[in-house]
Amino acid sequence: MRGFTIALAIVGGLILAACSSSGGGNNSNTSASAPATSSASTSPSASLDRTAAAAQIKKNWEAFFSKDTPLDQKLAYLENGDTMRAVVQQFGADPRTGQASAKVTGVFVSSATAATVNYQVLLNGKVALPNAVGTAVFENGVWKVSDSTMCGLFGLMGGAKIPGC
């Protein structure tokens, strides 16, 4: 039970890291750059380059979970980001946000619009949760963290239902 409690706390820290805001000003960090987009058509029937898609997913996923990525940029990396703004802001002030990040360990692109992402949760750079799994979606020409992945992580924290999820 203690291990589960620790893992839950780690996931909570990751959620908070995902939701932190660094003030919204211009940030010259490379992680705050525009989301990697596909050069292919936004049509699901377009030819799919799985290698390029996996690289874009990895870049965007890790940037989304970075404490250095400003709030508005995080929303660009999240499916339905505009409608999830309140959820993301709700967790931005927690002091644990500076400790957590994510490292993508594998991507399986199952279609032109969906992928499974295997990742690790890191706390202060050390692996704390080695086998996390989420989904990425292709929305408006950009591979993004799915809102269902974020809501699932929020749900692990327990308590009241999070508005927007």
pLDDT, one tens digit per residue, over 48-93 is: 999 999 999 999 999 998 888 888 999 999 999 988 887 777 665 5
pTM of the model: 0.74
Q: The tokens 């039970």 sit on which residue? A: 1
CATH number of 2-21+47-156: 3.10.450
Q: Give 108-149 pLDDT, tens digit per residue.
A: 999 999 999 999 988 888 998 899 999 999 999 999 999 999
* CB-CB contact of 116 with 133 (8 Å): yes
Per-residue tokens: 25: 């000003």
Per-residue pLDDT, 93: 55
Task: State which H helix or E strand residue 118 sits in.
Answer: strand 114-123
Task: State which H helix or E strand residue 98 sits in.
Answer: none
Give the count of alpha carbons within 13 A of 163, CB side only.
8
